[in-house]
Amino acid sequence: MKEQNYLDSLVGVFGHPVSENPGVIIQEAAFKDLGLNLWRFLTIDVTPGDLGDAIKGLKAFNMKGINCTIPHKIEVMKYLDDVAESAKHIGAVNTIVNEGGRLVGHNTDGQGFMIALEEAGVNPNNKNIVILGAGGAARAISVEMSLAGASKITIVNRLEDRPFGDSLMSVLKNDLKMDADYVDWTETYDVPEDADILVNATPLGLYPNIHEKPNINYDTLRRDLYVQDVIPNPAYTPFLAEAEARGCAWQSGMGMLVNQAALNIEMWTGLTPDKSLMIKAFEDAVG
Ligand code: NDP
């Protein structure tokens, strides 16, 4: 007789709203390919007031782990037993691993970004970095860039968002002893001549606002500037088109997305997924 085991291994994502989160497409394609036939990725809408109960539910269901997305990445930290060092600096957790009832928080957004950079042959060590935005993605990226030895980080951010920008500055300057600058983004931004890497960490260009792009002077992009977007959908944004038109090397947010998802799978299952298959599953799903 065949072995009869119908017990599901559960992971997933808590968010609100969360219905457009593509995690399930990418992760379940990898589970299938890895032969993990009883692994399920659940997309779960959890309102902010229910987060504590949702974490209790995660433990009661013996889920292997969970991703957290907006608005839970910061709030969830108070329910965890431990938080990885880089996630502490970032101040946000996007991946939780259930280690036999002990919940440990990680931030794979920044790590996924760094692997994508490495895959593009770009090393941020001793580089001058400009990051547009000061939200969760900018925070994760700037902390990882700092830990990787960047020589300078400039955060370009809207005036209305100043408190969040100030707290990021404090992490970079005080905790990580980084040479960091803050620019109030009140007018068209000129990218400095000595910048090596430019990152769009705003949602500008994300579906459905696919024609939007950051308000920068694109004629200040030099050929030897490396340009990186965080937007995975669509992968080719107007921001990247401007960079390409000026001869810059660039990479879309797809690399970050697939690498952070691959890291999640490795943390939860101990197995290494095929990333090209995950990208294909995502592209097939979004059309
Ligand atoms: P947040 O809301 O935390 O931060 C967004 C940042 O962009 C804020 O600083 C915000 O400023 C700024 N911003 C928004 N609109 C504008 C605008 N019109 N002009 C200038 N600045 C603006 O979001 P996240 O950091 O979590 O996510 C940002 C993007 O990164 C999202 O599109 C998300 O899809 C993408 N992302 C991609 C990942 C990947 O794996 N590829 C992983 C994580 C995120 P303000 O607060 O003033 O609005």
pLDDT at 165 over 80: no
pLDDT-based confidence at 3, cuts 50/70/90?
confident
Query: Is residue 160's pLDDT more than 80?
Result: no
Q: Which of 68, 216, 230 to mutate to test the pocket of ligand 1 (most atoms within 8 A of CB)?
A: 230
Question: Which amino acid residue places its CA nearest to atom 4 of ligand 1?
Answer: 135
CB of 161 closer than 6 angstroms to any ligand 1 atom: yes
State the average pLDDT for the chain. Answer: 95
**DSSP assignment of 223-235:** TT-EEEE---SSS
Tell me the CA–centroid distance for residue 231 and ligand 1, in Å: 9
What pLDDT score does 174 carry? Answer: 94
Calpha distance 160→183 (Å, rounded): 12
Indicate which residues carry an active-site annotation.
73
- Ligand 1 centre to CA of 204 (Å) is 8
Check pocket membership of 157 for ligand 1, CB cut-off 6 A: yes
Mean pLDDT for the stretch of residues 213-241: 96
Band of residue 161 on the pLDDT scale cut at 50, 70, 90: low
CB 112 within 8 A of CB 260: yes
- Rounded to 5 degrees, φ, ψ at 29 are -65, -40
Q: Check residue 163 and give its pLDDT.
A: 66
Q: Is the C-beta atom of 142 inside 6 A of ligand 1?
A: no
Ligand 1 center from residue 111 Cα (angstroms) = 17
Q: Is the pLDDT of residue 74 over 80?
A: yes
Q: Does residue 172 register a pLDDT over 70?
A: yes
pTM above 0.75, yes or no: yes
Structure confidence at residue 162 (pLDDT) = 63
H helix runs in the chain, sequence order:
23-33, 51-60, 85-90, 108-119, 136-147, 162-170, 238-245, 254-269, 275-286
Which residue type is seen at 227?
Answer: V
Q: Which atom of ligand 1 is nearest to the CA of 161?
A: 47
Q: What is the pLDDT of residues 230-249, one digit of tens each?
A: 998 899 999 999 999 999 99
User: Does the beta carbon of 133 lie inside 6 Å of ligand 1?
Assistant: yes
- Ligand 1 atom showing the smallest separation from residue 112 Cα: 40
Q: Is the CB of 202 under 6 A from ligand 1?
A: yes
Q: How far, in Å, from the CA of 150 to the mean position of ligand 1?
A: 22
**How far apart, in whole angstroms, are the C-alpha atoms of residue 125 and residue 150?**
5
